Structure 1
Amino acid sequence: MKARSLHEPPRPSGSRDPGPFRMLDYDLELQHHNLALRRACAIRASDQVLDIGCGTGQTTREAAQLATAGSVLGIDRSNEMIERAKQLSDEAGLHNVEYVCADAERYEPPRERFDVAISRFGTMFFADPVAAFSNLRSALRADGRLVMMVWQQRDRNEWATSIERALMPDGAGTTGSIAVPPAFSFGDPDAARRILDATGFATATFDEVHAPVFYGRDVEAAFDFVSGFSTVNEKLARLDANERARAVERLRDLLAEHRRADGVWFDSRAWIVSTRRK
């Protein structure tokens, strides 16, 4: 599901080092977003829930704790994350959770089984979104809900624009046409509604979540975290040694500028997209 841009969670395609500490760092990064999504999902005790791109299962476990008379199926393309999700669910004593290592774009979940499908930044990276959402729709019961969090447009997300500027080669301009990275593919509500409408979903609502992302308790922790983004590594690899050193210095300075008493934070804006199966 996540085929990665500048910053995406350590899910399927390995945008970051998938070690257990980085996977848990991702949950800390999105702590404010997670609260907003949990409220929007409004999981009921009897719900059957599908969690798309579940990663290490934070959203899956939280859904399971609410769906006490139901169950939750979490799917993710990373086997390491699925294994970690299983471990954490076992440690939490949850018995109404299952996990499947699969690509949600191709995986065929049980048809018309689920009352609600949820996702925290796990649906923007489909190579064929029409096929993917058609597949997910078939898993929902009549009038079943889809509630997902996606990033707004790139220029509304400080974490994306500021880090990218810090990594630009010396003298590079910022003008010109820039292709929309996959992370922001659902940032335009009109375009997203067209995809959902074409795949059998009702007109979606887009509720803004304006909240900061957390990158670490201090500059060094934040630098270690950001250095795990695959695109940060890719951009640095294109620079010669001198340019790379200057880019790293600019990145450290940027992180220092964003340090507060409680850590390093960057502004972000996301949508909570809510719709139903027609």
Structure 2
Amino acid sequence: MAQIVNVHQSEAWNGYEGQHWADHHDRYDAVNNGYNESLLDAAAIGPRDRVLDIGCGNGRVTRLAARRARLGTVTGVDLSGPMLARARDLAAQEDIPNVTFEQGDAQVYPFADGSFDAAISRFGVMFFADPVAAFANIRRALREGGRLAFLPMAPLGATDLGTVLATLPPRDEPAIGTHEQGPLSLSDPARVREVLEGAGFADVSCAGVEVEQIWGRDAPDAARFVADWGPIRYNYGGSDEIVDTLTRAMRPFERDGAVRLRGSNWLVSARR
């Protein structure tokens, strides 16, 4: 494995957090699949492109990108050994030969200069120890004119997940972290622009994307899944009381055999 500077995140994604995502890859994809086409369209992936998937996790977006870049190559990079093992297995099951997966920290990974036409990420870029340095490294890996497209979380605000999490007992810090660190670190478009322009990117744009997210087959199932999700488990411990609270909050969103929450996040694009 290449050099790691984001040690805390490496420990998390090679511990409980990464194993939970690997074990429940299909469930996390059910939550996030609605964003896939918008992300890939924003990256304008062509059949011969060389694509970098940053924080690729279990590799769902990596595999979809590889189908678009059928005569090109797609490289997924992630800190998580458990998720990369799952990604390789799924790519083999789906017989997708033009993907490779590397374990490493994208902030310092030794990419060859100008070796990619596009870089993408579905919720995998919010955890860098130094985001400006990380995106500068990603920019270096892109050819001149190369495209960057990624999805960071937007503020939960009036989203359905925000409504659900608002029922949990209050804490000194929000359940999924602050705007300075964690999943919400790039939730402010002004901050996104500051980071990307500081890293040397141009033509930065940020647009909202709203999709339906499937969190479980019914309220108890979705509640147990959310209670075991890393940030909630870390802050609340996954007790029966928390599961009961989440179950009650999920009830209004049961529809057509699933718990369906309205999700709204940012889609960012830029160019080297």
- Residue 50 of structure 1 corresponds to 52
Tell me: CA distance 1:173–1:133, structure 2 relative to 1, closer, same or farther (3 Å). closer
Q: CA deviation at 1:266?
A: 1.8
Gaps of 5+ in 2: 1-5
Q: Secondary structure at the match of 1:267?
A: strand
Tell me: CA distance 1:103–1:21, structure 2 relative to 1, closer, same or farther (3 Å). same
Quick check: 1:121–1:149 contact (8 Å CA) kept in 2? yes
> TM-score normalized by structure 1?
0.85
CA distance in 2, matches of 1:165, 1:211: 20
Higher relative contact order (CA 8 A, sep 6+): 1
- Residue 162 of structure 1 corresponds to 163
Q: Which moved more, 1:35-44 or 1:93-102?
A: 35-44
Q: How many residues align?
A: 262
Q: Secondary structure at the match of 1:192?
A: helix
Q: CA deviation at 1:217?
A: 1.3
Quick check: 2:78–2:103 contact (8 Å CA) kept in 1? yes
Task: After TM superposition, list the pairs within 5 Å mapping 1:245-256 onto structure 2.
Answer: 245-256=240-251
Q: Secondary structure at the match of 2:166?
A: helix
- Residue 217 of structure 2 corresponds to 217
Q: CA deviation at 1:225?
A: 1.4
Q: CA deviation at 1:102?
A: 1.1
RMSD (Å) for aligned C-alpha atoms: 2.7
Task: After TM superposition, list the pairs within 5 Å mapping 1:119-268 onto structure 2.
Answer: 119-159=121-161, 161-168=162-169, 179-180=178-179, 182-237=182-237, 245-268=240-263
- Residue 78 of structure 1 corresponds to 80
CA distance in 1, matches of 2:32, 2:191: 25
Q: Secondary structure at the match of 1:187?
A: coil
Q: CA deviation at 1:214?
A: 1.3
Q: Which amino acid aligns with 1:250?
A: T
Q: CA deviation at 1:208?
A: 1.4
Quick check: 1:16–1:228 contact (8 Å CA) kept in 2? no
- Residue 102 of structure 2 corresponds to 100
Q: Which amino acid aligns with 1:256?
A: R
Quick check: 1:37–1:120 contact (8 Å CA) kept in 2? yes
Q: CA deviation at 1:261?
A: 1.6
Quick check: 1:51–1:72 contact (8 Å CA) kept in 2? yes
Q: CA deviation at 1:89?
A: 1.0
Q: CA deviation at 1:103?
A: 1.7
CA distance in 1, matches of 2:84, 2:195: 28
